A and B are shown apart, each in its own frame.
Chain A
């Protein structure tokens, strides 16, 4: 199996740009997807594939990838972006399993 590593917590000033990263061997082979989760709610997909946003996700959310690291960037963070963010990807072992990162708590100051 493989693991995905995220920083436990990140903070950003209101209106500034923040990058949340996700590291793992599987990211050399597969794109990461990113999820936003607010307290008491189910996760919401915000980025998938190379850099795709589902309908309804603001364009301040973007994704990128380099080597074994995937990144979620929020350009002009808003108060409502304060949440937990999780990455996931296919497992690189070829068994069609899925792995999640441990999550990053984003605080908007």
Chain B
């Protein structure tokens, strides 16, 4: 069974960047999309964007356009999410999730990483 293991917690200064990794093990990596979802303390889930490793093209939520970069390295079965120009409002748990598309175009995030806490503080 595929597992997604994320990198550890980060503490960053405002204005800096953070790069979170998500390594897949136990199954096929390239043929599935990987999405990134964040959750601010006490708040709901927010989709940031995603990538299909075999194609290498990422898709971003409008809110994060220009600030987020999602990439994937097929050779190491690892996806990355880099967020720049960090501000305090970016303090959140960041999750990666395997993304599957079903009949009728529905989307489901069936396997999740354990989450990475990113704290932005001066």
Contact = CB atoms under 8 A, between A and B. Distances in A.
Interface of A: 1, 29-33, 35, 37, 42-45, 48-50, 52, 54, 86, 88-90, 95-103
Contacts of B97: 43
Given A35-B109, A88-B109, A49 B103 contact: yes
B46 A100 contact: yes
Interface in B81-102: 95, 97, 99-100, 102
B104 A31 contact: yes
Say which size band chain B's interface belongs to: 20 to 34
B45 A97 contact: no
Contact of A30 (B46, B104, B109): B104
Interface of B: 35, 37, 44-47, 50, 59, 61-62, 95, 97, 99-100, 102-110, 112-115
B95 A48 contact: no
B91 to A, nearest CB: 16
Contacts of A49: 102-104, 106, 108
Given A1-B62, A96-B59, A98-B47, A90 B113 contact: no
22 contacts: A30-B106, A30-B107, A31-B104, A31-B105, A35-B109, A43-B95, A43-B97, A45-B108, A45-B110, A48-B102, A48-B110, A49-B103, A50-B104, A88-B109, A89-B106, A89-B107, A90-B105, A90-B107, A97-B62, A98-B50, A98-B99, A101-B44
Nearest to A103: B44
B32 to A, nearest CB: 14
B105 A43 contact: no
Contacts of A103: 44-45
Task: Name the residue among A32, A88, A101 with the largest chain B CB count within 10 angstroms.
Answer: A88
B62 to A, nearest CB: 7
A29 B99 CA distance: 18
A100 B47 contact: yes
